[in-house]
Chain A
Amino acid sequence: MNKTKNNKYMDRRDALKNMLAFIPLGGAFAGITAMGFRFITPKKRDVTRRIFTMHLNELPINASRKITDLRGKDLVLVRTGEREVKAMSTVCTHLGCTVYWQKDNQEFYCPCHAGRFDKNGNVVAGPPPAPLQTYHTEIEDDNVFIYFKDAEG
């Protein structure tokens, strides 16, 4: 039996034996901690889906329509041409508030920090760093589809 008078110093053999015993133990606990971390880290789903929105004949040229995703965020569809539709998110690119469409000055206005976007989503005033996010649209058989990225699990 080893006599350890003073737990500050151990001889080398002791140290090696200790390592052999405790490194695996430490590793095991590290492993289970890692599993625990995985558990509490939210799942990320990066799925882009092709969603049907409406028929082309429901959207006259230069008119816009609003659709909502189930998370409550609105998307705006604007028919910009004969067979061209632009889809924009209404989430302000500054800090995530929802913008209002102001018909009078044809602008999107963000109430949080007074950011402004024009009807194409480009920033015209205020702190937003980027234009409104657009979605890729596709017209098939007169049906308007958008490619919507679903990030939540």
Chain B
Amino acid sequence: MATSLNTKRTIIGVLSVVFIVILLMALWKEVQHAMPDYKASPIVDEGTRHCISCHGEQGVGKVIVEQWKDSKHAEVGVGCLECHQAKKGDIDGYEHEGQFIATIVTPNDCAECHAEEAEQFTTSHHADAGMIMGSLDNVLAEVVEGHAAFMDGANPAAASGCWQCHGSRVQVQTDENGDAKYNDMGILLLDPKTWPNTGMGRINLDGSKGSCSACHNRHHFSIAQVRQPENCGKCHMGPDHPQLEIYNESKHGINFRAHREDMNLEAQPWIVGQDYSAAPTCATCHMSATPDQPVTHDVGDRISWTLRPKVSEKIDAAELAKYEAQGKPLPEDFLTWEQRRKGMQNVCYQCHTKIYVKNFYTQYDNSVHLYNDKFGKPALALMKALKKEGLITPIPFDDKIEWTYFFLWHHEGRRARMGASMMGPDYTQWHGNFEVAERFYMEMVPEVEELIDEGKKHGKTAQANRVYNLLDDILNSEMHKWFLGKTDPEEVARRKAASAEFRKRYSE
């Protein structure tokens, strides 16, 4: 029963070989599971270490330190004081634990190391986002929806709504004498209606415009985070400018979602066509580098149309007009809309052929012109006339037609144009042109007619007639005369035949 010595020896030999094989497998596993990327510990000076000793350990904003530790800043030795240190005389500075610091870090502070980006940003339209004080939207927030003086001027509709994207004008809390207020730890108190706020166009206490952390979320400052479309989507979404939704609908967005892991979002540099080719993001087209262009933080650099206003115009039109009016020559670095379009097309060419891009721009231009000519200009003319002729009050938003018109140009009209610009056909059509048309024909036109009747009743006959004539001209024009039943008979017949043909398919 006992195993012979020879057998035992053989068994030992065999088992040893099995042992070695398994060791090799362990070796293989070890090599595979090779160390994750070594994360060096941050190197900072004593000042920052003092900040961390409280904020990092005792939980007062502990996560801030945790996030910062993972950031590029920590890796290269940029700590708390490098950004938060205030200079003597800064209004927003205060003494704290032996240092003079400011809570808010503005583009001026970031410019210490990121000068080029800060400058490009400051001259961009993004930095002006806070200059909406006189706009209609501002009236909506402060008068129509909210109340500017409510709760000592807390202005909630603006503070929690508009300003969170557009940026507030940061203010310090003051006492009865107008002096700045501090809490019992000596921390400068900021007016709660103006802060917290990382709106794009925040007007800072040091006079600078904007907030880098509107996009570059602190304290990670992750380059991958900032390149994601969702980042822009914090503000560029919603019924009045659904750029994120349009992007998501478009093939660009679909590709992005499908190939997210291939997007190489952490890479530096991040050049389309070289470092990634799966899909473009917002950043790709509007800011990021191509083989021929550097990164720009001026988001208007590659835009040709401005799709914001009631009637779209080329983006340089206003500036050009200004220079012409003043009789001044154009500055050297003035970017015309043609140049900007070339910049954008350069991005397109990384993936598409020139013919493809040219044809797309034709489609896009045509869409904008259609909106402008069929609805934009006529509706604007009607509103101007109504105001001029006194058929509506000068108070904004107290007449129904003002709301109708607002929807038409500010919401639906923008959707139609933006959908065309970024290849989101559903937004162009059903959220766009369809709703523009409905708004115009089914609401605006009847409301104008009503106001005309009202005007006549209240003795403003001449004014009402002038508006009537304008409306009549519009409705009798080529594009609108169908509404009056004046479509050319051949076209009517042709459409009838096509319709009959179509219905055969559905046996209706």
Contacts and interface: CB of A to CB of B under 8 A. Distances in A.
Nearest to A24: B16
A24 B9 CA distance: 12
B43 A2 contact: no
Contact of B49 (A18, A27, A47, A68): A68
Interface string B120-143: 000000000000000000000000
B41 interface: yes
Nearest to A19: B13
Contact of A51 (B10, B17, B35, B43): B43
B23 interface: yes
A148 interface: yes
A53 B77 contact: yes
Nearest to A23: B16
Given A25-B19, A67-B45, A52 B12 contact: no
A112 interface: no
A20 B115 CA distance: 72
A53 B75 CA distance: 12
Interface string B2-26: 0011100110110111011001001
B76 interface: yes
Interface stretch (A28-36, A78-86, A94-102, A121-129): A28-36
A1 to B, nearest CB: 5
Nearest to B42: A70
A69 B48 CA distance: 11
Contacts of B78: 52
A52 B77 contact: yes
Q: On chain A, which size bracket covers the interface?
A: 20 to 34
B38 interface: yes
Contact of A52 (B5, B10, B46, B82): B82
A98 B15 CA distance: 56
A25 B77 contact: no
Interface string B63-85: 00000000000011110001000
A9 B44 CA distance: 70
B9 A18 contact: yes
Interface in A35-85: 35, 43, 45, 47, 49-53, 55, 67-70
A5 B389 CA distance: 129
A21 B23 contact: no
Contacts of B49: 68, 70
Interface string A116-153: 00000000000000000000000001010100101001
A143 B112 CA distance: 8
Given A1-B5, A17-B9, A28 B40 contact: no
Interface residues of B, number: 34
Contacts of A43: 35
A33 B76 CA distance: 40
Contacts of A68: 45-46, 49
B119 to A, nearest CB: 12
A35 B19 CA distance: 14
A27 B20 CA distance: 8
A1 B113 CA distance: 84
A153 B16 CA distance: 35
B27 interface: yes
Contacts of A1: 4-6
A22 B38 CA distance: 41
Nearest to B10: A21
A117 B6 CA distance: 73
B113 A52 contact: yes
A24 B19 contact: yes
A60 B19 CA distance: 67
A69 B362 CA distance: 59
Nearest to B78: A52
A32 B13 contact: no
Nearest to B21: A28
A90 B55 CA distance: 29
Contacts of A153: 38
Contacts of B15: 25
Nearest to A51: B77
B12 A148 contact: no
A25 to B, nearest CB: 4
A70 to B, nearest CB: 5
Interface of B: 4-6, 9-10, 12-13, 15-17, 19-20, 23, 26-27, 30, 35, 38, 40-46, 49, 75-78, 82, 112-113, 115
Given A21-B13, A43-B35, 18 more contacts: A2-B6, A20-B9, A20-B13, A21-B16, A22-B12, A25-B12, A25-B13, A25-B15, A27-B16, A28-B20, A45-B38, A47-B38, A49-B76, A50-B76, A52-B77, A53-B77, A69-B43, A70-B43
